[in-house]
Amino acid sequence: MNTSRKSFIKTLGALGVMPWAIAQPTSSKPRVELGNSSIISNPKTLAVGSRNALRGVERAVSMMSEGKDPLDAAVEGVKIQELDPNDMSVGYGGLPNEHGVVQLDASCMHGPTKRAGAVGCLEGIKTPSEVAKAVLELTDHIMLVGDDAKTFALQLGFEEEDLLTERAREAWLRWKRNLNPNDNWLNDDESNPYSTGTVHISACTQQGDIGSITTTSGLSYKIPGRVGDSPIIGAGQYCDQRVGSAGSTGRGEANIMACGSFYVVERMRSGESPEQACLSALQRVVEMTEPRLLDENGKPRFNLNYYALNVQGEFGGATMLKPSDRALDNGGGTFAVAEPGNARLEPMAWLFD
């Protein structure tokens, strides 16, 4: 769905929003001065993302190669997973909260215009990525949540639909049957049957324009109203036109505490490669983690992943825990990368064996 300013100017008036012309993207300079240092910019058409974004980064690069905006391309990329009922961590078919209701979160940033948009606890709309982008394009706000985010989407013409598939419903019912009176909401036992999952894409054009987006159905069986890191600017994703972009999947609460994606971009600003910046962010997460979530060796009982690219045309990814040999044999510990004509999975670095 394309959110045209002209198409929705009447709706925006009803919402109390003053429309304005969106600034046009500007190309990055070959060298960007940042304080006492500088970054040599050598951008290329490139997209990186979570492992489940392989089809998405390929689509994003194809669109950017045709001259499309990086955020438009990234949104179209993540929509593949949002609309896929077999991806139970995103959009339609995502696992519900503890009451059996699917609540979705998403956020995005646009480097050229220095703008951002996000939605949290959105119900009944298959593509929260598009609603987050509409917040960015059409309002003076950054985040809308809950029923009001849904009202905003409906006023823009999005269709309300039932997002709970039979497969997700059966998984929720199995979870409910395994509950007992002593269960609580503290997920400090790695055997707890909760799951996380998200899709992220960072995209860069050959001109050096950057866009980023992260979208999710959040922690499975969460308390209604829980918001993770995905819709939080600087946590679930972050981009800076002068430096690069980063995003995350995994335990959202840990990532929020570390402002992880922002930290990755700042480490790249200081000169670290994307991979090293991702590892630095993971180390920061460990330092910010409360003791109940660490094992006897000080290692987290949860996993977290970062993905990043910079304006030098470099990319990288890192995960908290080394995948098992079986997982590695099945493609675990990888992230999606696409350049023109070449979409693939690349191995991630890891912080702990």
Alpha-carbon span 59 to 324, nearest angstrom? 30
Tokens 């999952």 correspond to: 197
Catalytic residue among 45, 196, 198, 334: 198
SS3 at position 353: coil
Residues in Cβ contact with 282 at an 8 Å cutoff, skipping those fewer than 6 apart? 304, 306, 318, 319, 320, 351
- Amino acid identity of residue 199, one-letter, is V
Whether the CB-CB separation of 123 and 159 falls below 8 Å is answered with no
Tokens 């983690």 correspond to: 289
The pair of structure tokens assigned to 165 is 């598939």
Tokens 């987050």 correspond to: 132
129 phi/psi in degrees, rounded to 5: -60, -40
Whether the CB-CB separation of 149 and 8 falls below 8 Å is answered with no
Q: In the annotation, is 198 catalytic?
A: yes
SS3 at position 282: helix
The pair of structure tokens assigned to 267 is 């480490």
The pair of structure tokens assigned to 216 is 């999710």
The residues annotated with a catalytic role in the active site are 198
